[in-house]
Structure 1
Amino acid sequence: MTSPADREDSVDPTKLYDPNDPRYYGYSRYQFRLWHGMTIWAFLKLLKGNWRHISPQRYGVVVSVFLLTAPTHSILALLVKLFYRKRIKETRFNGDPVCILGFMRSGTTFLNELLACDDRFASPDNMQCIMPESFLIAEKRLRNHPLAKMEKRPMDDMDMSMDAPQEDEIAMLTMGQPSPYAQMAFPSAKGRYSDGLIMQRDPKVRARWIKAWVWFLRKVQYRNPDKQLLLKSPTHTVRVSLIREVFPQSKFIHITRNPYRILQSNLKLGKALSVTQGFEAKGMTDEQLIHDLKDGFPAFHEAFEKQKAELPEGALVTVSYEDLVKDPLGVMRKIYTTLDLPDIEHALPAMQAYIDSRKNYKPNKYKEDPEIVKMINENWDIYFDKYGYEKLPVEGEEPPVNEAIVTADGEAPGTPEDDTNSDIRQVPNASNG
């Protein structure tokens, strides 16, 4: 006999549910959220000042964290400190990390998963980032738990697994550290989390963040003693100087993408994450996201360009998503050569196998909105100027004059459209995105 759940799964959820219902994105009401990997003290930090914003529809999530998962993770976190503290403290990094940079939905996830095919690298995975304080003990029992599995991400058609690479920014969020990603929990808290991006205003907050970040990375390194860390997070794009303070020899890979696709993909991402992970009745609106990106996107890249100028030769390589999907192995060779990474031949078979596994991937399709095109053309000049993308004409207006050499129509069928740092990777059921 077919269960209601089976009948539900056989029908397109977008035809059954409201866009502010997690089920609209194929996300069950009973699936674990990001917050289910937090300790009590980290969860209280997240909720501080936001209690009044919690919707009655999300009370069940809050109660389940407080009563079911947070106590367990809190006890396990204390046990990790008791049994592993000395070993973690003595762990030495196997060289400074390689960091993937780029705005959310620029292709950072695709790039990260390709590079992670090289078994000489180690990236934090979903399990480690969702349960950053307890994973050293919890991972054996929970990594393959049924509630910790999700076939696809809610914002696109990318596969998920607890072993897949994830943004270390997610770990910072679930440890209760300042992070702009906290806005997915409370979309109406406009501007409240912006300081979590750069953290320049309060030296004490900045120092605590760095300490927590390094401690988490040591645990990942402890689990992968002979590998070099490979980190990916869009937020690190504006933290290049901070990263170099901690890891002076770190190297960076910056990926760019057609800006019109970046915005369109961010609209879907912001809505999906704020609905599936949020505590409010409604997720982010397109209007809110467009308003934030109008000035936030150019400011983000102005900050990056300023910090990029301080990097020595050979510490940074820039690639485009369009080139990556057309010739992934060619772009990989460019990255390895420019950054003087170990011989790529060792990793090519695994990279090719990953590429072959994505041949049936279907990227999201978008239609150009004249108002959005106009907003981008008028406000995102820094991106067009620096990375050579061509402005699209606005319907009814003369085509813009632009000497760009890369066309704006940069889709390639059968390849991941992501990224995404989040670019946030949506978490499986146990928990990003």
Structure 2
Amino acid sequence: MQLETISNIPDEPYLHLLEKVDFNPIFIMGDHRSGTTVLYQILVATACFNYLKASHIIKYDEILENHINRTQERTRQELENLFKSLEISDRQFDKVKPTPDLPEEYGFILKNAGYESYLNPENLRLFVQLCQKIQFASNSDKPLLLKNPWCFPHFMYIKSVLPKAKFVFIHRNPIHVMNSKLKAVRLILSVESSYIQLISKRYHEIFDNPMRRLLFRVMYSSLFGLGVRRVTQTSMLATTYYLENIQSLPTTDYISIKYEDLCQSPESTILKVLEFLQLEAKTTVDYDKEIAPRPVKLLPEVENSSDEICRKLQPYLVHCGYQV
């Protein structure tokens, strides 16, 4: 007698329902700390899109079950209570208040499953599944909006496997990007974030291993300029990839905006994006209220290296219209 296989994954009995679920994703593309989060949040606020929520990451294996059994609200409330019990008031590194509905990055789901954080042939199947899950459990008439800075230097692969994909690129002065990266990484490595612990297995593992955590802190420290050299290298790789490949994308498939323009003229910038996507906001949004830019105070090592950084990134600075 053959024993029936019992799955511990709540969604397993419902995965066959995804076979005919279609999606044409829209990707927000930009380097880490370039404004992808605020752009994602404002676009989500227009009510035009389905999107990946923090609850989808924390309860990934229950998305279908909760939808079919209509237990989403109960699960959401349980997470709300968990956030309160952990005294989670912000994401720590950017003052964004976490909620179960907070727009988040799909890279966490890929990494939590043991893959790279960016989309590639090894994790493509999982990525398609997560997109189908969100569409199935959301409003099927809305397009799917996604963001994941790890995919910024891989957008041509995404276009090759998802030919109907659209892209919204956001750029920010790279000096400010690197400065923000260093501050954010140093903060989350020095003070444990309960919220990031919930959504990132890798972060949890780093804090559980003091030697590994120390290694990361040294890598991003001001010691011998290690931190600034590291963020300069990653920004160079990402921006060089962008310059070398952006001409290969049809102009009908992407739009580029600047973080500085989004802060200065949020409404007109967002309306420009929506017009490109042939969408209209489905709710009234106070665009100015959604923007809370803070004065940029450069770290000493970033300020001291700014001339060299600008020299290395001159082609990108010129392309985006930043003064050099």
DSSP-derived class of the 2:33 partner:
coil
Cα 1:364–1:154 shift into 2, 3 Å: farther
Aligned residue identity for 2:168: I
Which residue does 1:85 correspond to in 2?
15
1:365 deviation in Å?
4.5
Partners in 2 of 1:143 and 1:272 — Cα distance? 28
Q: Aligned residue for 2:52?
A: 124
Q: Does 1:245 align with 2:160?
A: yes
- Give how far 1:380 is off: 2.0
Alpha-carbon separation, structure 2, partners of 1:109 and 1:304? 19
SS in structure 2 of the partner of residue 237 of structure 1: helix
Q: Is 1:106 equivalent to 2:39 in the alignment?
A: no
> Which position in structure 2 is the counterpart of 1:147?
82
For residue 3 of structure 2, what is the aligned residue in structure 1? none
Which letter does structure 2 place at the counterpart of 1:334? Answer: K
**2 CA distance for matches of 1:261 and 1:321?**
11
Query: CA-to-partner distance for each residue in 1:126-170, whole Å, 9 max, x for gaps?
Result: 111233233444655542332235221111222221101111111
Render the CA deviation track for 1:201-230: whole Å, top value 9, x for unaligned: xxxxx4331111111111111111222100
Structure 1 counterpart of 2:273: 335
Q: Please report the RMSD computed on the Cα atoms of aligned residues, expressed in angstroms.
A: 2.4
Native 8 Å contact 2:173 2:322 kept in 1: yes
- Counterpart-to-counterpart distance in 2, 1:381 and 1:109: 25
Partner of 1:266: 181
Aligned positions of 1:396-415 closer than 5 A: none
Structure 1 residue 330: deviation in Å?
0.4
Equivalent residue for 1:286, pick from 212, 216, 221: 221
Other-structure match for 2:200:
none
Q: CA deviation at 1:117?
A: 1.6
Q: Residue 50 of structure 2 contacts residue 144 of structure 2 at CA under 8 Å; is this kept in 1? A: yes
**Partner of residue 146 from structure 2, selected from 231, 237, 247:** 231
Given the superposition, is the C-alpha separation of residues 271 and 333 from structure 1 closer, same or farther in structure 2, using an over 3 Å criterion?
Answer: same
Which residue is equivalent to 2:298?
367
User: Which AA in structure 2 matches 1:389?
Assistant: Y
Give the drift of 1:235.
1.7
What per-residue deviation string (whole Å, max 9, x for no partner) do you get for residues 279-299 of structure 1? Answer: 332353334432222222111
Answering whether residue 98 of structure 2 is matched by residue 160 of structure 1, we say: yes
Identical residues among aligned pairs (%): 22
Seen in structure 2, the aligned counterparts of structure 1 residues 363 and 76 have a Cα distance that, compared at 3 Å, is farther
Q: Distance in 2 between matches of 1:250 and 1:159?
A: 30
Report what 2:238 is aligned to.
Answer: 300
What amino acid is aligned across from residue 18 of structure 2 in structure 1? Answer: I
Change (3 A) 1:120 1:340: closer
* SS of alignment partner, residue 78 of structure 1: coil
Judge conservation of contact 1:98–1:230 (CA < 8 Å) in 2.
yes
Partner in structure 1 of residue 69 of structure 2: none
Q: 1:254 aligns with which of 159, 169, 173?
A: 169
SS in 2 for 1:211: helix
TM-score norm. by structure 1 comes to 0.60
SS in 2 for 1:110: helix
Q: Report what 2:317 is aligned to.
A: 384
Query: Contact 2:18–2:136 at 8 Å: present in 1 too?
Result: yes
| Aligned-partner residue type, residue 128 of structure 1 | H
Residue 144 of structure 2 aligns to a residue in which SS? strand
Q: How many angstroms apart in 2 are the aligned matches of 1:130 and 1:321?
A: 29
Cα gap change, 1:315 to 1:322, in 2 (>3 Å): same
Runs of 5+ consecutive residues of structure 1 not aligned to the other structure: 1-74, 180-196, 199-205, 392-433
- In the aligned structure 2, how far is the partner of 1:76 from the partner of 1:126? 24
Shift of residue 362 of structure 1?
6.7
Q: Distance in 1 between matches of 2:36 and 2:97?
A: 15
User: 1:211: which partner in 2?
Assistant: 125
Q: CA shift at 1:103, angstroms?
A: 0.6
Residue of structure 1 in register with 2:115 after alignment: 177
What is the SS of the residue equivalent to 2:168?
A: strand
Q: Larger helix proportion, structure 1 or 2? A: 2
Letter in 2 for 1:222: F
CA 1:213–1:260 in structure 2 vs 1: closer, same or farther (change >3 Å)?
A: same
Structure 2 CA distance for partners of 1:142 and 1:388, relative to 1, 3 Å: same
Relative to the length of structure 2, the TM-score reads 0.79
